[in-house]
Amino acid sequence: MESELPYIYCPFPSRTNPHVGHTREHLDEWTRRTGLVHRESARERFEHADFGAFVGMVYPTANAEHLDLVADWFVWLFLVDDQLDDGHLGHTPERVRDVVERMRAVVEGSGPGPEGDKEAPAALVALADLWERTIPQAAPHWRTRFAWHLMRYLTTATTWEAGNRAEGVVPAEATYIANRRHTGAIHVCMDLIEIVTGTGAPESVHNDARFITALEASCNVVCWANDVYSYEKEQVLGEIHNLVHLVRHHRGYGKQQALEHVCAEIATETRRFLAAEAELLSLHPDLGGLLVPYLDGMRSWMRGNLDWSRQTPRYNPAEVGQYAEPEAYLEESVLGVGGEATEPGAGVPRQAPGGARHDTAGERLRAGHGPR
């Protein structure tokens, strides 16, 4: 797919983690034990994606234990996301409301976990395991922020995205960009940098305007690059939540022009990150021990996500035909909700790209200007 895409500016070096081999073996065992992946078709697709390589690229400095942990978080997020994006559940938020609330109870400690519940969805079992292994290494303020980001991902994906699909709404670019950082769970992944590096950044750092800019820009780069590489897959699925698709829909661009536009915006965001990074380090030389590892983690995410996207079969045009029949690889046991629509109006086929209606905010877009 790389040969068909415009150049994506990324001035950061490619790196990989020496513990990837061990993490691949760990992921195989963990996904079997938790029940996240068990059908042969799902197992084959999971292995081809090579999430072990992905996590090694975006967390190149993690030790073996931390790499296994963040890899498990990756797989959990990807498999839950596939259920919500590729299958019928992405159109019917009411059908996953109960399991999302049970997830909330796990991360907020406000209710019983899945222990002893033989009917508990695999995603809930795996989340309880992840939470138990993650929180001992984290400060209270980190746990609060991480839990908020995790639940914001789940609720945005199961309400805003699902509602748009069910009603045929094409969101405005600005609305989409603001929500994309949550539906992509990239804040969750950036939070894990602190676990991997062992540097608990205080709230004063997270509230610094320059840090916020660097984080927002790096998150945009990751999410928009993913949209570029997953565009063909999502067109097969009729998915509207993709920046390339929205640029085409709202601006009337052709495919190549839309791809070039998004790639140019990725370059703009990368430069915005670099400017914020330089200013942040210049103004706070006393915080270098905290800031440098965190900023390096953002750099690794931008580079590693791009490198993995270029090589994974998930986004290879020759492989996208598999997405025409998502029930062939989706595991119903992940969320504990059957994949077939059973309620009135549920599972309405996704509209063709030109058939969905505009978000009312779309009329207020700044036509011709980049998504800021």
Indicate if the pLDDT at residue 273 is higher than 60.
Answer: yes
Reported as a pLDDT band with limits 50, 70 and 90, residue 137 is: confident
The CA-atom distances, in angstroms, between 223 and each of 129, 228, 276, 309 are: 27, 9, 19, 11
- Cα–Cα distance measured from residue 214 to residue 218, given in angstroms and rounded to the nearest whole number: 6
Give the pLDDT score at 237.
Answer: 78
- Of 32-46, 194-208, 246-260, 292-306, give the lowest mean pLDDT range: 32-46
Average pLDDT over residues 158-177: 90
- Cα–Cα distance measured from residue 232 to residue 227, given in angstroms and rounded to the nearest whole number: 9
- Cα–Cα distance measured from residue 135 to residue 132, given in angstroms and rounded to the nearest whole number: 6
Q: Which of 372, 193, 203, 172 is nearest to 295 (CA)?
A: 193
Indicate if the pLDDT at residue 196 is higher than 80.
Answer: yes
Q: Please list, in sequence order, all residues whose beta carbon lies within 8 angstroms of the beta carbon of residue 126, skipping any fewer than 6 positions away.
A: 30, 34, 35, 36, 72, 76
Half-sphere exposure of 201 (CA within 13 A, CB side): 28
Answer for the pair 267, 225: CB distance below 8 angstroms, yes or no. Answer: no
334-357 pLDDT, tens digit each: 776 554 443 333 333 333 333 444
- Cα–Cα distance measured from residue 205 to residue 182, given in angstroms and rounded to the nearest whole number: 21
Give the pLDDT score at 116.
Answer: 65
Average pLDDT over residues 34-46: 82
| Helix ranges (DSSP H) in the chain | 20-34, 40-49, 51-58, 64-86, 97-108, 122-134, 140-155, 162-167, 173-183, 186-197, 203-206, 209-237, 243-251, 255-283, 288-311
Give the pLDDT score at 318.
Answer: 57
225-264 pLDDT, tens digit each: 999 999 988 888 788 999 999 999 999 999 999 999 999 9
106-121 pLDDT, tens digit each: 998 876 667 767 778 8
Q: Which of 154, 157, 320 is nearest to 229 (CA)?
A: 320
Average pLDDT over residues 48-55: 92
The CA-atom distances, in angstroms, between 64 and each of 9, 252, 357 are: 30, 48, 48
Q: Is the C-alpha dihedral spanning 139, 126, 118, 100 positive or negative?
A: positive
142-161 pLDDT, tens digit each: 999 999 999 999 999 888 88
